[in-house]
Amino acid sequence: MKRFVKGMKGAYSALIFLFLYAPIAVMITFSFNASKSRGTWGGFSLKWYIELFGDARIMQALGNTLFIAITAALLATIIGTAAAIGINAMRRVPQGIVMNVSYLPVLNADIVTGVSLLILFVSVGIPLGRISLLLAHMTFNIPYVILSVMPKLKQMNKHAYEAALDLGCTPLSAIVKVVLPEIMPGVVTGAILAFTLSIDDFVISFFTTGAGVGTLSTEIYSQVRRGVKPSMNALSAIMFVVVLILLIVINIRSSKDNRQASK
C-alpha cells in the first residue's frame, strides 16, 4: 500500500511538471523549426535565431533590458544591503514594523505598483523613459535584496562589529572588512535575484516606460498583438535558458550557504 501511495505521489508530481513545462518545451523545439507554421515540423534550422539577432528593434530592446537590469540590480543591491544593515541594528519593535513595510512591495500586485509609480512620476514631473523605468525597477528590487541579506545578518555574530570597533576600526571600515564578508552570500543572491526579476518584469515596465524605450517584455507584447513571429520563439527560448541558469546559480549558492551554516 505504501509503495502504491508513493507511486501515485510521483505520478501526480510528474503530471504537474509536465503541465507546467510541456508548453515551454514545445516552444523551444519550434524555435528550431524551419517552417513558419507552428503546427508542422519543417526540419531543423537556426534561421529564426539568425533573424532574431538581425532585428534592430529586438536588439535595441535587449540593450535597454540589460542596461536597466544591470544598473537597477547594482543600485538596488547597494541600497538594499545598507538598508538591511540599518534595520538589523534597530530595536525589536521598530525592526518588526519596518520589515512588515518592506514585505508590502513583495506581496503587492504588480499592477498596483505600476499604476502607483506612474502616478508618482507624472505628479513630480519625471518624464516617462529610461530614468523612470530604472527608478521603477530599483523600487521593486530593493525589498528582495533586503529579504536576501537579513538572514545572513541574523546568522553572524552580533558582537563582531563591536569587536572591530574596539580593535580600532572606523564604523565604515568595520562594515567593509567585517560585516560585508559575512553577509556576502546574501548580497550576491539578492543581486542575482534583482537582475532576474528586472529582466522578467512586464507589468511595471509597461506602465513606467516611455516612447522609444522598450524592454524585451514590452516588445514581445507589442509584437504578439500583431501576430507572433517564429523569431519570438527563439527570443523566449533564450530568455528562459538565461533565467533558468541564474536560478540554478541561486539555488546552488543557497545550498552551499545552508551547509556551511549547519556546520
pLDDT digits (tens, 9 = 90+) for 73-100: 999 999 999 999 888 888 888 888 888 8
pLDDT at 258: 67
Alpha-carbon gap, residue 236 to 129, rounded angstroms:
24
DSSP-assigned letter for residue 126: P
Answer yes or no: pTM beyond 0.85. Answer: no
Q: Which amino acid, residue 65?
A: T
Number of alpha helices (DSSP H) and beta strands (DSSP E) in the chain: 12, 0
Alpha-carbon gap, residue 77 to 192, rounded angstroms:
9
Domain 55-262 = CATH 1.10.3720.10: yes
Residue showing cell 544591470: 70
Higher-confidence residue: 260 or 74? 74
pLDDT digits 0-9 by tens, 3-31: 766 778 788 888 888 888 888 888 888 88
* Contact between residue 233 and residue 71 where contact means Cβ atoms under 8 Å apart: no
Query: Would you give the end-to-end CA distance of the chain in angstroms?
Result: 38
Residue 237 predicted with pLDDT over 80: yes
